[in-house]
Amino acid sequence: MFTRSHPGPRRLLLAASTLVVAACQSADTVPTESQQALATGSASHLHPGSDAKPTSDQLKVIARVREATVRFHDVEAAVLAGYDLQFPAGCAASPDGAQGYHFLNRRLAADAVTDPLTPELLMYEPGPNGRLELVGVDYIIPYDQLPASTRPKPMLPGVKVEMMNNDPLEVWALHIWSRRPNPRGMFAAWNPSVSCQNQNVARLPQLQD
């Protein structure tokens, strides 16, 4: 049983405010400094073993993750459930693939607890019809809750994969591509099967400040 306290994740929200980029930026636009920082930080957790085939125990947990997040195929349902902040803003892409749009649940990100069934972020790919498709989940722990120098590194319970440092965003992070197969691995940072090419027609939900 996991319990969560709810102190304000000050550094996390500060990072979000400093990484605001245009949500509908053209795919061939030169990356902004903020987007380059995101790419650098995410590349830092392309760690050994991220491309390994999941074990049977990991697959059981991932199946439960799929079940727990099935209602979030509707991004509006995700917003109503508290995933109401883009962090970072815009559709995240790199030469190694994409992550799509990230929607953060600030309450879940307010402590050092991670639970596979309640991911801190949901990731969506924009489709050609403007619809956002759920492709995976992202788990984070802000550095103001667990310092970057912490050893041993935190692990996601059940999955038992180390979270990795993402210094530009000041968080520990781990992705699970629960809805979109990733040839780079279930826990890799970037997914070449995900694209931001349709971001200009993406129908983004109305978010609260």
Of the two residues 40 and 191, the one the predictor is more confident about is 191
Does 77 have pLDDT greater than 60? Answer: yes
Of the two residues 19 and 38, the one the predictor is more confident about is 38
In whole numbers, what is the pLDDT of the chain averaged over residues?
Answer: 82
Q: What is the pLDDT of residue 206?
A: 87
What does the alpha-carbon distance between residue 92 and residue 81 come to, in Å, rounded to a whole number? 23
Does 9 have pLDDT greater than 50? Answer: no
What does the alpha-carbon distance between residue 100 and residue 90 come to, in Å, rounded to a whole number? 8
Does 109 have pLDDT greater than 60? Answer: yes
Does 14 have pLDDT greater than 70? Answer: no
Q: What is the pLDDT of residue 209?
A: 59
Contact 119, 137 (CB under 8 A): yes
Q: Is 139 helix (H, G, I), strand (E, B) or coil?
A: strand
Does 205 have pLDDT greater than 70? Answer: yes
Chain length of the chain: 209
- One DSSP character per residue, 76-124 reads HHHHHTTEEEEEEEEEEEETTEEEEEEEEETTTTSSS---TTS-SEEEE
What ranges do the domains of the chain cover? 10-201
